[in-house]
Chain A
Amino acid sequence: MRRRFTVASAMVGAVALMTLAGCTTDPSVTDSSEAPESSEEASVEWFDQALFDKQNAERTVVPEGPDGQPWLQTINAELVDTAQFASTGPKKACFANASISNPWRQTGWITMNQQLKVLQDAGVISEMETRDAQDSDDTQIADIDYFIDEGNCDIFLISPNSTAAMTPAVERACDTGKPVVVFDRGVQTDCPVTFIHPIGGFAWGIDTAEFLIDNLEKGDKVVALRILPGVDVLEQRWAAAEKLFDEAGIEAVDYFTGADPAEIKKIISDELAKGDVKGIWMDAGDGAVAAIEAFEDAGADYPVMTGEDEMSFLRKWKETGLTGLAPVYSNFQWRTPLLAAQKIFAGEQVPVEWVLPQSPITAEEVDQYLALNEGMPDGHYAKFGGEDLPGYPQVWEDRVIP
């Protein structure tokens, strides 16, 4: 038994030694020099007053850019020169995707591929090589490193799996001198040429919370259904909403559901058994129908509800006539990275932070969006922005995933 401890401690010691030794080996892979900047991430609170105020203001800004093409519009753009990347001929894009594990990402991925076809026909992009990290930080880091070594890439498109963890890898991509475009979730470095995203989670939280507050009385109960903890774009939605509910005296309880409708239905049923539920807040629309059905099955009045622009929710909303709002996390942003690549290779200016418009679908607009997306599957997103792309509507109706 003593021997056991000897062996164990020897192993630990050896590993520790080797670990330390590892630090002194040649840094053949150069990490960028930036290191201490990211210390603010140690905080665990998602609420950020400055970002809240910024996004709150951006909600009311009229976006600039071509009418009817929200994926090219910008809000408060601060343009950056890209002349150094200007170059002719078709280019190879390398896309490190976080995953296509939810309907929102699948819809966007389909749209992106149709956009790619347009640019390939136009001779802007020769091909796009995609590596899908299947929701794993580690895999995505390896994917980016692979692209750097083997991809022969002219531009990196990155949809990070998580903000902080992907920062070192994105910096390595920047160090190649090739343009880097980041979209959806961000990274903690400003080395990419542009970072494309809709206004953001706080704006979502403000839109939805204000709607519920306007339609409810003080002291009413709202059940907040959240998918999972720890994802910044989702946490910020709740951080904003929670704060506003708090200030308005709305009683809000939140649950993590894993987007599982069975789980959602159980939670709502239990809440209805405890007492009246006047409002439902969701950080993503998956499972909204199950939430509404829980009210039907319990024989309770429909709640005031915010879902998402997912077709299942829009259809159920219309069918039940409840008081609702469909906040939007603009799915059309999946078109923008490739269009940004086109601009960058043309040497046109692009915004450093490309903020896309993000406006909820209101009760007056539901019919319009339902008509536009008739025949689309339930997991489709109304503001997918691909109506002018080839293959519309068949590709989205059949959900052809490359």
Chain B
Amino acid sequence: MTAATELRPSAGQRLAGLARTLISPRGAVFLLLVLLLVAIAVLNPSFAEPSQFIRFIQRVAPVAIVAIGQYFVIVGGEFDLSMGSVVTAQVVIAGNLIGQDESKALPVLALMLGFGAVIGLVNGLIVSFLKVPSFIVTLGMMLALLGAVLYWTGGAATGNPADGFREIGRGGIRGIPVIDILPWSVVILVVVLALAVWFARRPFGRTIIALGDNPTTARFSGTRSWWVKTSTFMISSLSATVAGVLLVGYAGVHPSVGRGYEFTAITAVVLGGVVLGGGRGWVVAAAAGAFALEALFTLLNFAGVPSTYRDAVQGAIIILAVAYSATTFRARRRGRALEAPVVPPPGAPPPAAAPETSPASGAKTDDSPETPATPAPIPSTQRADNETKGGS
């Protein structure tokens, strides 16, 4: 609260604020990401070369895009387990319908986007009107969609689609100085991320968060909740479609492409500090979660960790990351003396946590309207309601 009175925080204060944000739950994913990248670069210096690094971004792009889509569903208080199957379905559709005929690429791409939207629409409508929990709806969709695709193709697609179409996920703009090649995937990721940030800041995007935070309030305030909810599912299916387009280029057609993406995406989103159950989270952090996850895998590869241990490390990191953010949140809440005294865990002393909140939220009021991409505007109070209130 003290910082809020100062209109122009000095550079030092900004830096301190940034540092605090980094160790705050929402910033932690960026810190984790940086640490992982540095560790990779130490183990394998060539990774830090721009041309290698851009390849890394290219590789993460599909996961990050899926995570961005999943973010909207989760922040709206739901799950989408069907994303992996949507990716697989789209990959197979591309392989079978485009074939070697490049002229079909555009119509089929349109068809794929339409198909993705329909899947999301179906998910959303069933969740909204038949009142079936999204976990169940999308689980059913996951089974049914994958089964249908395999049935249609006899288990294996005819073959890879035309090279021109695959160029989207595989190729890029060549001959660029430092980075050598700018993969289309990276361009698409940036566009998707920018769209997502823009969308999340619009009133509609804020309504999603409000709905996930407290459906009853959102309904009373006149939200057409069915449409908001349905649109989140359409966003996630469409993002899975985009990821499918990238993956069919990057990897090719196989029924196992996209397998497990739903869990990877949820993991990434949660690593990004987004709270399952809805109402809180920042889309950029969700994308950063995807990068952190992939960086972790890469690090384990470079460190020569046997691939069988990879899962175990991943599991431990997820739990620790979420536990860190959850316990920090709690500590902060206690710092603000809002919570009745409940047995505190030893790891999170309230005095250290208390001052953390106010300066960061002060920084938020300063510059949240104009700078979208800096970590500062992350609302670091334990809920996102200031953000949502600001919208309405």
Do A and B come into direct contact in the complex, CB within 8 Å? Answer: yes
With both chains docked as a complex, state the minimum distance between the C-beta of A309 and any C-beta of chain B, in angstroms.
14
Query: What count of chain B residues pass the 8 Å CB interface test?
Result: 32
Cα distance A127–B56 in the bound complex, in angstroms: 54
B156 contacts A399, CB within 8 Å? yes
Chain B: CB-nearest residue to A274: B44
A115 at the interface (CB under 8 A from B): no
In chain B, positions 151-173 with a C-beta closer than 8 Å to chain A are 151, 153-160, 170
Would A377 and B55 count as touching, CB distance under 8 A? no
**Contact B259 A258, beta carbon cutoff 8 Å:** yes
A260 touches B259 (CB 8 A): yes
Does A229 interact with chain B (Cβ within 8 Å)? yes
A332 to B52, CA, bound (A): 44
- Residue A265 CB within 8 A of the other chain: yes
Known contacts A377-B156, A399-B153, A262 near B251 by CB under 8 Å? yes
Query: Does A269 have its Cβ within 8 Å of any Cβ on chain B?
Result: yes
A261 proximal to B (CB < 8 A)? yes
Q: Please name all residues of chain B whose beta carbon is closer than 8 Å to the beta carbon of A377 when the two chains form the complex.
A: 154, 156-159
User: Among the listed A269, A297, A378, which residue makes an inter-chain contact with B156, where contact means beta carbons less than 8 Å apart?
Assistant: A378
Report the separation of the CA atoms of residues A40 and B129 in the bound assembly, to the nearest whole angstrom: 57
Q: Which of B52, B154, B297, B307 contacts A398 (CB 8 A)?
A: B154
Chain B residue nearest to A258 (CB atoms) is B256
B47 within 8 A of A: yes
A380, closest chain B residue (CB): B156
Cα–Cα distance between A267 and B305 once the two chains are bound (Å): 13
Interface assignment of B254: CB less than 8 Å from any CB of chain A: yes
**CA A8 to CA B219, docked complex, whole Å:** 43
A290 to B44, CA, bound (A): 23
Using Cβ atoms and an 8 Å threshold, which residues of chain A touch B386?
A: none
A293 touches B159 (CB 8 A): no
A106 near B156: Cβ-Cβ < 8 Å: yes
Task: Report if A346 contacts B (CB, 8 A).
Answer: no
CA distance A196 to B245 in the complex (A): 42
Interface size for A (C-beta < 8 A) is: 40
B253 close to A (CB within 8 Å) = yes
In the complex, whether B358 has a CB less than 8 A from a CB of chain A is no
Q: Which of A51-107 contact B (CB under 8 A)?
A: 100-103, 106
A286 within 8 A of B: yes
Instruction: Give residues 92-151 of B contacting A (CB, 8 Å).
Output: 151
Q: Is the CB of A269 within 8 A of B153?
A: no
Query: A290 touches which one: B55, B251, B297 (CB < 8 A)?
Result: B251
Which of chain A's residues has its CB closest to B261's CB? A262
**Is A255 close to B, CB under 8 A?**
yes
Interface string of A253-297 (1 = CB under 8 A from B): 011101111101111011101100000000000110110010001
- CB-nearest residue of chain A relative to B158? A377
Taking CB atoms, residues of chain A closer than 8 Å to B155 are: 100-103, 106, 379, 399, 401
Q: Which chain A residue has the least Cβ–Cβ distance from B299?
A: A270
A256–B297 alpha-carbon span in the complex (Å): 13
Query: Is the CB–CB distance between A269 and B55 below 8 Å?
Result: yes
Q: Which of B153, B297, B302, B307 contacts A274 (CB 8 A)?
A: B302
Nearest chain B residue, comparing its CB with the CB of A107 = B156
Known: A229-B308, A377-B156, A399-B156. A259 touches B254 (CB 8 A): yes
Known A-B contacts A269-B59, A293-B252; the reply to A378 vs B308 at CB < 8 A is no
Interface centre among A106, A229, A254 (most CB of B within 10 A): A106
With A262-B247, A270-B302 known as contacts, the answer to whether A286 contacts B254 (CB < 8 A) is yes
Residues of chain B lying within 8 A (CB to CB) of residue A312? 159-160
Q: Is B296 part of the contact surface with A, judged by Cβ < 8 Å? A: no
Within 8 A of A (CB), among B21-63: 44, 46-47, 52, 55, 59, 62
Residues of A within 8 A of B307 (CB): 254-256
What is the CA–CA distance of A290 and B254 in the complex, to the nearest angstrom?
A: 10
Query: Within the assembled complex, what's the spacing in Å between the Cα atoms of A359 and B23?
Result: 60
B184 at the interface (CB under 8 A from A): no
Contact B59 A378 (CB under 8 A): no
Question: Would you call B221 an interface residue if the criterion is a C-beta within 8 Å of the partner chain's C-beta atoms?
Answer: no
* B308 engages A256 (CB within 8 Å): yes
Specify which of A267, A269, A289 is in contact with B252 (CB 8 Å cutoff).
Answer: A289
For the complex, what is the distance from the CA of A378 to the CA of B52, rounded to whole Å?
A: 31
| Distance in angstroms between the alpha carbons of A274 and B44 in the assembled complex | 7
| Given A255-B307, A379-B157, A290-B256 contact (CB < 8 Å) | no
User: Could you tell me which residues of chain A, from 296 to 314, have a CB within 8 Å of some CB in chain B?
Assistant: 297-298, 312
Question: Quick one: which of A301-344 are within 8 Å of B by CB?
Answer: 312
Complex Cα distance, B251 from A286, in Å, reads: 12
- B301 proximal to A (CB < 8 A): yes
A260 CA to B302 CA, complexed, in Å: 20
For residue B365, CB closer than 8 A to chain A, the reply is no
Task: Tell me which residues across on chain A come within 8 A of B154, comparing CB atoms.
Answer: 106, 110, 377, 398-401
Given the interface pairs A270-B301, A378-B157, the reply to whether A261 lies near B254 with Cβ below 8 Å is yes
19 more A-B residue pairs beyond the given contacts A377-B156, A399-B154, A401-B154, with a C-beta to C-beta distance below 8 A: A103-B156, A106-B155, A254-B307, A259-B254, A260-B254, A260-B257, A262-B62, A262-B247, A262-B250, A266-B297, A270-B301, A273-B46, A273-B47, A274-B302, A290-B251, A293-B170, A298-B55, A377-B158, A378-B156
**Chain A interfacial positions (CB closer than 8 Å to B):** 100-103, 106, 110, 229, 254-256, 258-262, 264-267, 269-271, 273-274, 286-287, 289-290, 293, 297-298, 312, 377-380, 398-401
List 9 contacting pairs A-B, 8 Å CB cutoff, sorted by A.
A101-B155, A102-B155, A106-B154, A256-B307, A262-B257, A267-B301, A287-B254, A290-B254, A377-B159
